[in-house]
Amino acid sequence: MGVRIIENVRPAWPRGKEWLVASQPAVVIGDIEGEEHEVLGRVEGALGLSDGSFAIGDRDARRIRIYDSAGRHLGRFGGSGGGPGEFSVLGLIGRLRGDSIGVWIRWTAGISEECRGASRSDPGRADTSRSPVRSRHR
């Protein structure tokens, strides 16, 4: 059968609409040392949310951390464990619908759907009244 070779003779976008990488980052999140919410261990993914904030999956802490568009910590949810809203293993994160975050549960081949609403007044707890934690398995 052979290998099919495809050659692009011109970009798919018009001149002046190319993607460019800035010389400096727009926002910096995380550090090697600092407060608990500043140190990220083995990031499993990051999502931009509809309000300009970011959700970052921290595999070591087994938490989803929420940061505003300037990189300030807003809240977190999850944690180590096997109970509701906890993760025995935090896998890749992705968007499900709206600002709901899906977390791949590696060992069970399931997806845990988490609410985005980490409370700003109590960042250690998630506000599950609007979007309860549910688990779906394949």
pLDDT tens digits in sequence order for the chain, 138 residues long: 789 988 888 888 888 888 888 899 888 888 888 888 888 888 988 999 999 999 999 989 999 999 999 999 999 988 888 887 788 888 888 888 777 888 877 655 556 655 544 322 233 333 333 333 333 333
User: What's this model's pTM, rounded to 2 decimal places?
Assistant: 0.66
What DSSP designation does 84 have? T
Question: Where exactly are the structural domains of the chain?
Answer: 43-137
Query: Tell me, what's the pLDDT at 125?
Result: 38
Q: Is the dihedral of CA 29, 33, 37, 43 positive or negative?
A: positive
Let me know: does 56 contact 43? Beta carbons within 8 Å.
yes
Let me know: does 126 contact 118? Beta carbons within 8 Å.
yes
Query: Tell me, what's the pLDDT at 73?
Result: 93
